[in-house]
Amino acid sequence: MILATIRKSNNMRKCLLNALIISFIFLSYLAGEEISVYAGDTVQKPETFAEGTFGVDLVFVKGGCFQMGDQFGDGNNTEKPVHEVCVGDFYIGKYEVTIAEFGLFVSDSGYRTDAEKEGRTVVLNSSGDGWEKRDGTSWQNPGFDQNVDHPVVNVSWNDAVAYIAWLNQNIGSNYRLLTEAEWEYAARSGGKRHKYGWGSNDSPEGNIAGDEVKREFPKRSWPVWDGYDDGYVFTSPVGSFNANELGLYDMTGNVWEWCQDRYSEDAYRKHQRDNPIFLEGGSNRVNRGGSWFNWWGTVHASFRGRASPVGRRSYLGFLLARTP
C-alpha cells in the first residue's frame, strides 16, 4: 500500500498524498469531470486546526453545557425531554467528507462499500415522489450528477467507520464520528437556543428542499420550503452556503451525517449529563442535519434521523470529529 510507507516521514507523507490528489484530479480531468477539490489551508485562524498533510480542516469547539432536544415545542417525541447535557472540547470537520477524500481512501485501500458489495442502493425515483432500489448505484453513482467537491453519499455507517480507521492508520491521528450530543451542540453554534443551523429565524439558508425541487419534481407529495430556492435539486459542493457562528458548513441540509450513537426513541430519558453517547438497544445508528431532500419539519437542529449501519442513501454522508 502506498500510504503504509509514508508514516516513515512527514515530508514523504505530504509528497505522496499530494501525488495521490494530483493523480485523482488528473484522472477525473481525463474523464471529463469538473474538478474543484478542497485540499485544506496551510495557514489557519487560531481556532482552526489543519492536518496539512491530508487537507483535513477541523474547527476547534470549546465544550460546555446546553439544553439538548426540542426547545421550541414543535418537534416529535424522540426529541424529548429537553435535558441538560455537557460536552468536552472537540474538533469537528469544517466540511462534510467529499467524494475526492473518500476516493483517495478507496483508491489506496481497495475498499468496497456496502453498496458495492450488494450492487445497489436506495435512490429517489424518477418522479421524485418515492424511493426505489436501483442496481449499479453507489458512492460513485448516486443516481444524480456530482463533482468531486460534493459530499460523498451512499456510504453506510460501516463505510464511514472504515474510512476513519484508514485515515487514523495513515496519518497517526484519532479521528472518529461525532456523538449525537456533540453534533447538536455544534449545529447550535455552541449550544445556543438556535432552532436551525443558521439560527432561529424562518429565513432558510443551506441546501434543503425548496422551489427548485418542485420545478424538477412537480409530482412530489412531500412538503418543500415554499418561497425558498437554493439552486440545487440534489447535493451541492461543500461550503456553498454561509457557515454558522462556529465556522461550520452544511450543518443544516446538503446531506445527513452519521453519528456514533445507536438510535433509541427514549435515549434522552437515559442520557448521562456529561459527554453522553447512547450505545444501548437496537442496531440503528443516529444521523443528523437533514439533506437536500428535506424541508422545514425535518431540518431543525434537534431532529433525529436513523438508519441501519449497512444502510446507504443518496442523502446520507458524514463529518469527521477529533478528540484534542
pLDDT digits (tens, 9 = 90+) for 102-121: 999 999 999 999 999 999 99
Cell 516513515 found at = 8
pLDDT tens digits for range 182-221: 999 999 999 999 999 999 888 899 999 999 999 999 989 8
Instruction: Answer yes or no: is pLDDT of 81 > 80.
Output: yes
Give ∠ CA 17-21-24 in degrees, rounded to 5.
135
d(CA 85, CA 181): 7
Task: Please tell me the least confidently modeled range out of 38-47, 110-119, 309-318.
Answer: 38-47
The sign of the dihedral angle between the CA atoms of 75, 80, 86, 91 is negative
- Nearest Cα residue to 149 out of 236, 232, 208: 236
pLDDT given at position 127: 87
Helices 10-30 and 99-109 pack at an angle, to 10 degrees, of 110
The end-to-end CA distance of the chain, in Å, is 29
pLDDT given at position 50: 46
Largest CA distance in the chain: 57
Convert 207-245 to b/e letters by CB count within 10 Å (16 or more is b): bbbbebbbeebeebeeebbeebebebbbbbbbbbbebbe
- Nearest Cα residue to 68 out of 169, 191, 171: 191
Q: Is 123 helix (H, G, I), strand (E, B) or coil?
A: strand
**Average pLDDT over all residues of the chain:** 86
pLDDT given at position 172: 84
Helices 99-109 and 157-171 pack at an angle, to 10 degrees, of 70
d(CA 177, CA 124): 26
Count the residues in the chain: 324
d(CA 242, CA 280): 36
Can you tell me the mean pLDDT for 23-35?
A: 38
- pTM given for the model: 0.85
Which residues does 201 contact at the CB level (< 8 Å), separation at least 6? none
Distance of CA 216 to the CA centre of its chain: 24
Percent above pLDDT 90 for the chain: 76
pLDDT tens digits for range 124-136: 998 888 899 999 9
> Does an H or E element contain 83, and which?
strand 83-87
Instruction: Give the confidence band of 55 by pLDDT, cuts at 50, 70, 90.
Output: low
Cell 432561529 found at = 200
Instruction: Answer yes or no: is pLDDT of 171 > 60.
Output: yes
pLDDT tens digits for range 249-305: 999 999 999 999 999 999 999 999 999 999 998 899 999 999 999 998 999 999 999
The yes or no reply on domain 40-322 and CATH 3.10.250.10 is: no
Instruction: Give the confidence band of 22 by pLDDT, cuts at 50, 70, 90.
Output: very low
pLDDT: is 127 or 86 the higher one? Answer: 86
pLDDT: is 74 or 14 the higher one? Answer: 74
Instruction: Give the confidence band of 54 by pLDDT, cuts at 50, 70, 90.
Output: low
- Nearest Cα residue to 96 out of 56, 48, 140: 56
* Domain map (residue ranges) of the chain: 40-322
C-alpha distance from residue 324 to each of 60, 92, 176 (Å): 9, 10, 12
Instruction: Dig out the grid coordinates for 34 from the structure.
Output: 469538473
- Nearest Cα residue to 184 out of 283, 84, 269: 84
